[in-house]
Amino acid sequence: MNPAAALRRRLDGWFLSRRPPSDRLRLTQRNVYIVPSRAGWMLGATLGVLLLASINYQLNLGYLMTFLLAGCAAVGMHVCHATLRGLGLHLAPPEPQFAGDSATLRVTLHNERRGTRHGIGLAVRGSGQWSWTDVPAQGTATVDVAFRAPRRGRHPVPVLTAETRFPLGTFRVWTVWRPAAQLLVYPKPEAHPPPLPAPEPRPGEAPASLRARAGGDFDGVRAYHRGDPLKLVVWKRVARAQAAGSDELVSRDADEARRHELWLDAQAAGLADPEARLARLAAWVLQAERLGLDYGLRAGGRTIAPAQGEAHKRSCLEWLATC
């Protein structure tokens, strides 16, 4: 890293360290900054040339144009700064994401002023991918800011920036925001995982009471009865029957199924790489949940008892993300 880049990085770190993290931010005179944009610098240079020409050639019209344009720029500077000043920002708790997917941060902008605030953009700092909105008078607007979710684990939400160049584009007004929230990133599920492992007999049950094959196919099945829950239907058998031209439906024998438990075990994943094992377990969790099966998880020295449902799925994925 060259000295200039290292110095810039140190200054940037010092600047961010002075911004206390918070999921709510009120923009005031102390945290809103303004500098001329490229168009503003060009306007300044044009005004300088026009003023020199007016002085040298005693052009009254030149004086009029110079001070008229300078007055417009001064008013534009005040309006531009006021567009952000007084605005309230609130970050909603981010939803967990899978590694590599596009994560979305939802920011609500609150405007207590009686006038509309125009042309306000938000982005992850340094990304250059802006989301623009207008905030109505004494109202709110919601902006979704997207970024790529990093590797699995808990990560602080990236630094955000809000900016406006309204109304003339001659000044850039911006602020820097460090949210306090954290983003939970699940392992990226394996694209084509093998079938689910075979269910294990419950303690005290005879191993031969129900033979189960890998992938969730149970030998203990019976003909479908009206009123059977859909989670008991053996859909793989149904698909094979339909491929053979039959409409026969079969269901798992619930009494037999209760004698076995489906465990998603890291040791059963059959992979040496720890991250690859977690990716396979994440894929198995999604597959078991999609099939409506009760399943437990053994990974990272922790055991999560068999269950099903959204809360159980989130609990398993959260442990896989942080173990």
pLDDT value of residue 213: 44
Confidence of residue 76 (pLDDT cuts 50, 70, 90): very high
Strand 160-164 and strand 117-124: pairing? antiparallel
Distant-in-sequence, close-in-space partners of 65: CB < 8 Å, separation ≥ 6 = 50
The phi, psi pair for 152, rounded to 5°, reads: -60, 155
Answer whether residue 187 shows pLDDT above 80. Answer: yes
pLDDT digits (tens, 9 = 90+) for 209-255: 444 444 444 445 566 666 666 666 666 666 666 666 666 666 665 55
Q: Which amino acid is at 275?
A: E
3-state secondary structure of 85: coil
Is the Cβ–Cβ distance between 164 and 111 less than 8 Å? no
Distances from the Cα of 30 to the Cα of 25, 73, 107, angstroms = 12, 22, 21
The mean pLDDT of 49-55, rounded to a whole number, is 93
- C-alpha 3/C-alpha 243 separation (Å) is 67
Q: Burial code of 241-262, b = ≥16 C-beta within 10 A, e = fewer?
A: eeeeeeeebbbbbeebbebbbb
pLDDT digits (tens, 9 = 90+) for 137-170: 999 999 999 999 889 999 999 999 999 999 999 9
The mean pLDDT of 7-24, rounded to a whole number, is 86
pTM for the full model? 0.78
Distant-in-sequence, close-in-space partners of 208: CB < 8 Å, separation ≥ 6 = none
Tell me: cis bond preceding 167? Omega within 30 of 0 counts.
yes
